[in-house]
Structure 1
Amino acid sequence: MFIHKIDDDLSLRLVEMRDAKRIFELTDQSRDYLKEWLPWLDFTLKPEDTEDFIKMGRTNFVESKSMNMVILYKGEIAGIAGFNEINNSNKTAKIGYWLGQEYQGSGIMTRVAKTLTEYAINTLGMNKVEIRVATENKKSRAIPERLGYTEEGTIRQAEWLYDHYVDHVIYGVLAEEWNKNSE
C-alpha cells in the first residue's frame, strides 16, 4: 500500500475500495460547494458511482496513466488529490485535487500540491508538472501561484460546468525550475 506522509497531520494514500463510503459521504456533504468548479457531481449520485471511480482509477494506476490518492488529515479522509494524467512519453503529469468544504482554509491543498510536485519530479522523473484551474476559481489558482508555478496560458471554454463553459488557466513548472527553487 502506497502511503506518503507529508507532516504530522497530513498524508496521501492510494485510493482503495474500502474508502468508497467515506469518499461518497464527503462528496455528498460538500456537493453544493464542490459543484461550483467540478463537473462530475451530477454523475456521482450513489456510493456505487464512487466505487466505479475507484475501479477506473486503480486500472489507470496499474497502466501508469494516473494516480488517485485520498488526502488524510488527522487520520480522516479530507479529499482526493493526485495525477489526473501521467504521460511517460512526454514526462508530464497533471495534478488534480478537491477538498471537502469543512477542510478548506488550512493550507492542506498547498502542502499536498507541493508534495505531489516533488513526487512527480523527483520520484516519477517527470520534466513538467501542470495544474489546470478555472480562471475564476481564485482559491485554487492561489495554490500553483504560491508554489512558484508559471502561468502559461488560457484555454477558452475548456470545460462544461452544468449550464455554462469555463475557461482554464494552465500553470506549469519544469523540473529544473522546481529543483532550482527548492535549493
Structure 2
Amino acid sequence: MFTFQKFVIDHYKVQLVMPENSHAAELFRIINQDRETLSRWMPWTPNIKTVENEAQFLNYARLKMAKQELLMLTILVNNTPVGMIDLHNIDRKNKRAELGYWLSSNYQGLGIISSSVNLVLNYAFEKLNFHKIILQSDSENGKSIAVAHRLNFTLEAILKDQITYNDDFKDLNIFVKFQPK
C-alpha cells in the first residue's frame, strides 16, 4: 500500500493512501450507511449500488491517476477506510484543480477532513505547482463551508440556482485558495 501522508489526531492514526480494491467493501458499507446524507451532497451516490460498483470506481480512479488527470486518496483511520479526498478536473495549463472529499459520519467533527485537505493543498501548491484550488459547495452544506472557512479559502462566487436537489434549485458556493507567495 502506498501511503501519501499520515498524521495522528487524538488516538486516531490517519493515513491518506492510494485507493486499492481491498478498500471497496468498507467504502461501500459506509456509503450505504450514510447514503441519505451523502446523496444530498454527492451526485455520484446513486451510481454506487454494489461493492462491485465501488471497485469499478476505484479502478477508474487509478487509471485516471496513471494519466495524471486525478489524485484520489482513500482516508484510513486506524487502517480502516473511512472516506476519500481528491483533486479532480486538473488543468495543468492553467495550474488549477478542484478539491473533493467525503467522510463517514462516524468520523466527522474530529478535524480529519481539515487536516487531510491541508495536506493535499500543500502537495498541490508545493509539488504540483498549482496556482489555484477550487472547492465547490452546495450553499446549504454547512460542514463543507466550515472547512473552507477554517482553511482560509475565499468565497469567489455564488452561482444562483446552479444545482438541483429533489427538483429544487440550490446555489453553489465557489471557494478558492491560491498558492501562497
TM-score calculated relative to the size of structure 1: 0.90
Q: Report SS of the residue matched to 2:7.
A: coil
Deviation at 1:84, TM superposition (A): 2.2
| Count of equivalent residues | 177
Equivalent AA in structure 1 for residue 100 of structure 2 = G
Q: CA RMSD in A?
A: 1.5
User: What residue is the counterpart of 2:129 in the other structure?
Assistant: 125
Deviation at 1:81, TM superposition (A): 0.6
- Identity within the alignment, %: 27
Moved more, 1-10 or 15-24: 1-10
Equivalent AA in structure 1 for residue 18 of structure 2 = L
Residue 64 of structure 1 is aligned with which of 64, 68, 72?
68
Equivalent AA in structure 1 for residue 4 of structure 2 = H
User: What residue is the counterpart of 1:53 in the other structure?
Assistant: 57
Q: Distance in 2 between matches of 1:14 and 1:92?
A: 21
Are 1:40 and 2:40 matched, yes or no? Answer: no
Q: Distance in 1 between matches of 2:133 and 2:2?
A: 21
Q: Distance in 2 between matches of 1:94 and 1:16?
A: 22
Are 1:6 and 2:10 matched, yes or no? Answer: no
Deviation at 1:101, TM superposition (A): 1.1
Moved more, 104-113 or 152-161: 152-161
Q: Distance in 1 between matches of 2:111 and 2:27?
A: 20
Deviation at 1:30, TM superposition (A): 1.2
Residue 107 of structure 1 is aligned with which of 107, 111, 120?
111
Q: Distance in 2 between matches of 1:21 and 1:151?
A: 36
TM-score calculated relative to the size of structure 2: 0.91
Map Cα deviations across residues 104-136 of structure 1 (whole Å, 9 max, x no partner): 111111111111111100111111111111111
Q: Distance in 1 between matches of 2:115 and 2:20?
A: 22
Q: Distance in 1 between matches of 2:44 and 2:79?
A: 26
Instruction: List alignment gaps of at least 5 residues for structure 2.
Output: none
Residue 157 of structure 1 is aligned with which of 143, 151, 161?
161
Q: Is the Cα–Cα contact under 8 Å of residues 71 and 77 in structure 1 kept in the other structure?
A: yes
Equivalent AA in structure 1 for residue 5 of structure 2 = K
Q: Report SS of the residue matched to 2:97.
A: strand
